[in-house]
Structure 1
Amino acid sequence: MFGSTKWKKIALATVALFTVFAVGGLVVQNRCAAEGGNDYESIELFTDVLAIVKKSYVEEVDTKKLIYGAINGMLASLDPHSSFMPPDMYKEMKIDTKGSFGGLGIEITIKDGILTVISPIEDTPAFRVGIKAGDQILKIDDRFTKDMGIMDAVKMMRGPKGSKVNLTIVREGFDKPKEFTIVRDIIQVKSVRFMTLDDGYGYVRIAQFQEKTDSDLVKALKTLKDENGGSLKGLVLDLRNDPGGLLDQAVKVADHFVEDGLIVYTEGREKDSRMQFSARKSGTEPVYPMVILINGGSASASEIVAGALQDHKRAVVMGTQSFGKGSVQTIIPLTDDSGLRLTTARYFTPNGRSIQAKGITPDILVERAEIQSAEKKDGHIREKDLENHFESGEKAGEADKKTEKEKTPPIKTDEQLKGDYQVLRALDLLKGWEILKTMNKSK
């Protein structure tokens, strides 16, 4: 079924977002031949059921629809991130990674069979009407979402710009479900935002790792230096609520701040899934103090960056425990223009840490100003909460201690940013470094 199609490796380190997504018969059969008769028997069982349904079901059914449904069920039994993409969804997935797509602007996953919001994307229709992390989507228009697949949900939520869709939301604190009417728009995700916090101190926020994230970061750093006399005294890199994205972009971002050594490595069953990514000296930023901000919405590619800079002692990681998605998905094009999104490897930080279902533990735990009690949930869904998530592969007892959680809304304006408690704490830490450095020089 694959024919001569070459596996196209697009390593997506994202949480199950707005794009979700059969194994070709030829490949499956070849593996079965190598692995023994039991697999042949299972395939025979499948074909028997298919034939019975085709012959005896009360209505005539489309074979491709049955096959697609079977493939979806097969992949759903593996983990939350492996999925099948029919041609239309595969096409949209490729558009998503470029940072422009039509829809509402929310990143979703499935928890306990319920569509759940990971995070709204800032400055999008969903964000503007007040959709929040942790919201459970009970209904899309008049259709209940219980046991609805992400693919079906995406189809219902996407549509022409200017059209409306109603989401019925269940949220902690609501007496009853509340309906939100959202007007669809073309979502333009701005990957990198930046500003000068104070004289010599820069701030860069990465909202999502897209095709142009690295080049946008280069421009941001250059502008910040130009604004501050040609150099920086310190930098805050904000990865809060960053759900991840392209692995190669995460590596390039980390490479700007690490002169040499390992950034991340992956381990899987296939030889092609075992990779190492190392820093290059060229293009490395000067060594100035850095603080990385993370929270429960920081996942995958953002965890790669935070973990790499933490292991290299290049930055202090501040905030709260991250999401904990330590797996790599490979996109495999199929011959009918559909695609397979398959978990093929785990990734590890330079020191060999797997953060799968655990997350990155900050060096300095800093909650938002409105600190909630430990008994209250923050609304963030983490990898370990997802059905069928797999473990990190490390021995029991090595998991990091859980920390209290929080919700951090995406930054919209400079004024909001300057009043952000976690950003202010990060800036204070950077200034403290500068003071200590000055004091040591004066001795």
Structure 2
Amino acid sequence: MRVNHLIGIFVILFVIMILPWTGQAREDQYESLKRFSQVMHLIEENYVHEKEREYLLQGAIEGMLQKLDPHSAYVSLDELRMMQEDFSGEFGGIGIQIGMRENQLVVIAPIEDTPAHKAGLQPGDMILEVDSKSTQGMSLTDAVRLIRGPKGEAVVLTILSREDNKPKKVEIVRDTIPVHSVRSLELEPGYIQLRITDFKGNTTDDLRQEIEKYASNQILKGLILDLRNNPGGLLDQAVSVADLFMDQGLIVYTQGRDERQRKDYTAGRRSADATTPMIVLINAGSASASEIVAGALQDSNRALVIGENTFGKGSVQSIIPLSDGSAIKLTIALYYTPSGRSIQAEGISPDLRIPFERKQVSEEEGSQHPALRESGLQMHLRNPEMRDQEDLDQSEEVMELLAQDNQLRLSLEILKSMPRIKELTTTR
């Protein structure tokens, strides 16, 4: 198969060179091909180590794609299998989404509850080395191949964080990375946090099940769709997730270089659509599919978007198979929100900008007594309309989470106030 593929390349080059081209454009193309042939010949004849011609052609293909943008790439057969595992199965790794920024390998987002997340890796961290191998000039696919590996084996990353003055080495033991991408938590009775870690093949079904689980037991008063540090994933899942909360209208459209290549994705009315008030949480780690969902719900006035500007990955990649079983991942279009905003390099701006601030509780603060109220007095009269205290108490997990996460805490307070705000704005 490789020999046939190589013969095919030379046949194409030969036909191109013998065609009786006319015009300046065709002469330029011929000169470019001639220059490529000369360089390959010089390498074959003079390079210090002998290199196979197929190796050189492979390198030329990879380099050509890398020159286009950070997301276009050559995908080997093994890498293609890894990509399929990402979206539909399990794989051995540390649970991290990486990308290129100014030719530097960076963390886009660690996946929640994975070794990378537990090791404290943060969006924006630069990865300088993988097992002492420099990432300078390394392709994204090569970096992924080095970072992944069998469960139980360690990988050492040299990390430079924004707040650090010098790099540090972080040893992370690989684990089996699960495909479950939806987690839920009841913050208060009727108020649910729905956390999507990334968009896989089963994300919409998992999200629908989580919503139905709470809706079947109680009246839902509000939802917080948490897309923070969600690096994206499958386009069809982003569309169907947004469709769960929208009963009509445009969700997103893609536009290639030809105006006729525009493709619209719209919402369809369903009886199961979630109609409760909602907030979407975003930050710099929210990318691609996350930005599609946030942009659609924002433009349609379906949800209030809170947090920080998103990553700005607004390009569409298509996997195009080649004859030998490998493929190329090629950027073919850009994403646009329903109002026509391009996500690329701009991202989604929140309606309410709230920077994340992790609260550090000092011993002095922890020793302070809560304010005394009537309900704290012994033998106080019970409000007959008040539910049992055990129904109102938040779990320790929720209380700790809200205490440390100011964005989530403020989102919950705003969500609880939404019905009253709507009432005030409609009566005046």
Tell me whether the two structures share a fold, i.e. TM-score over 0.5. Answer: yes
The question of whether the paired residues in 1 share the 8 Å contact of 2:151 and 2:176 is answered with yes
The question of whether the paired residues in 1 share the 8 Å contact of 2:358 and 2:406 is answered with no
CA distance in 2, matches of 1:40, 1:88: 34
Partner of 1:288: 276
What SS does structure 2 have at the residue aligned with 1:219?
Answer: helix
Matching of residue 50 in structure 1 with residue 40 in structure 2: yes
CA distance in 2, matches of 1:327, 1:346: 4
Instruction: Provide the TM-score with structure 2 as the length reference.
Output: 0.81
The question of whether the paired residues in 2 share the 8 Å contact of 1:258 and 1:284 is answered with no
1:294 shift after superposition: 0.6
1:154 shift after superposition: 1.9
Partner of 2:252: 264
Partner of 1:423: 408
CA distance in 2, matches of 1:209, 1:145: 27
> Which residues of structure 1 form unaligned runs of 5+?
3-21, 372-412
Instruction: Provide the TM-score with structure 1 as the length reference.
Output: 0.79
What amino acid sits opposite 1:154 in the alignment? V
CA distance in 1, matches of 2:10, 2:332: 19
1:441 shift after superposition: 10
What amino acid sits opposite 2:186 in the alignment? T
What amino acid sits opposite 1:435 in the alignment? R
The question of whether the paired residues in 1 share the 8 Å contact of 2:244 and 2:273 is answered with yes
Post-superposition CA distance 1:61-113 (Å, at most 9, x none): 12332122111211111111111111211111111122522111121122333
CA distance in 2, matches of 1:122, 1:131: 11
Partner of 2:214: 224
Post-superposition CA distance 1:331-361 (Å, at most 9, x none): 1111112111111001111111112111111
* Mean CA deviation greater in 254-263 or 99-108: 99-108
What SS does structure 2 have at the residue aligned with 1:205?
Answer: strand
What amino acid sits opposite 1:267 in the alignment? Q
Partner of 2:233: 245
CA distance in 2, matches of 1:303, 1:175: 31
The question of whether the paired residues in 1 share the 8 Å contact of 2:123 and 2:284 is answered with no
Post-superposition CA distance 1:357-399 (Å, at most 9, x none): 111111111122359xxxxxxxxxxxxxxxxxxxxxxxxxxxx
The question of whether the paired residues in 2 share the 8 Å contact of 1:294 and 1:318 is answered with yes
What SS does structure 2 have at the residue aligned with 1:354?
Answer: coil
1:227 shift after superposition: 3.2
Partner of 2:390: none
CA distance in 2, matches of 1:234, 1:355: 27
The question of whether the paired residues in 1 share the 8 Å contact of 2:179 and 2:200 is answered with no
Partner of 2:377: none
CA distance in 1, matches of 2:123, 2:12: 39
- Cα distance, 1:128–1:358 mapped onto 2, change above 3 Å: same
* Mean CA deviation greater in 94-103 or 326-335: 94-103
- Cα distance, 1:27–1:429 mapped onto 2, change above 3 Å: farther
CA distance in 2, matches of 1:273, 1:245: 22
The question of whether the paired residues in 2 share the 8 Å contact of 1:98 and 1:211 is answered with yes
- Cα distance, 1:367–1:58 mapped onto 2, change above 3 Å: closer
CA distance in 2, matches of 1:136, 1:354: 26
Post-superposition CA distance 1:239-294 (Å, at most 9, x none): 11111111111010111111111111111035884211111112552432111111
The question of whether the paired residues in 2 share the 8 Å contact of 1:99 and 1:210 is answered with no
CA distance in 1, matches of 2:248, 2:240: 12
- Cα distance, 1:53–1:284 mapped onto 2, change above 3 Å: same
- Cα distance, 1:44–1:212 mapped onto 2, change above 3 Å: same
CA distance in 1, matches of 2:422, 2:79: 53
1:141 shift after superposition: 1.7
Matching of residue 350 in structure 1 with residue 338 in structure 2: yes
User: Which one scores higher on RCO, CA 8 angstroms, separation ≥ 6?
Assistant: 1
What SS does structure 1 have at the residue aligned with 2:88?
Answer: coil
The question of whether the paired residues in 2 share the 8 Å contact of 1:255 and 1:284 is answered with no
Post-superposition CA distance 1:198-248 (Å, at most 9, x none): 1221221111011001111110110121232xx311111111111111111
Partner of 2:172: 182
Q: Please, what is the CA RMSD of the aligned residues?
A: 2.9
What SS does structure 2 have at the residue aligned with 1:36?
Answer: helix
Bigger helix fraction:
2
- Cα distance, 1:276–1:208 mapped onto 2, change above 3 Å: same
CA distance in 2, matches of 1:59, 1:206: 49
- Cα distance, 1:234–1:44 mapped onto 2, change above 3 Å: same
CA distance in 2, matches of 1:43, 1:56: 20
What amino acid sits opposite 2:420 in the alignment? I
- Cα distance, 1:86–1:352 mapped onto 2, change above 3 Å: same
CA distance in 1, matches of 2:71, 2:170: 27
CA distance in 1, matches of 2:286, 2:41: 46
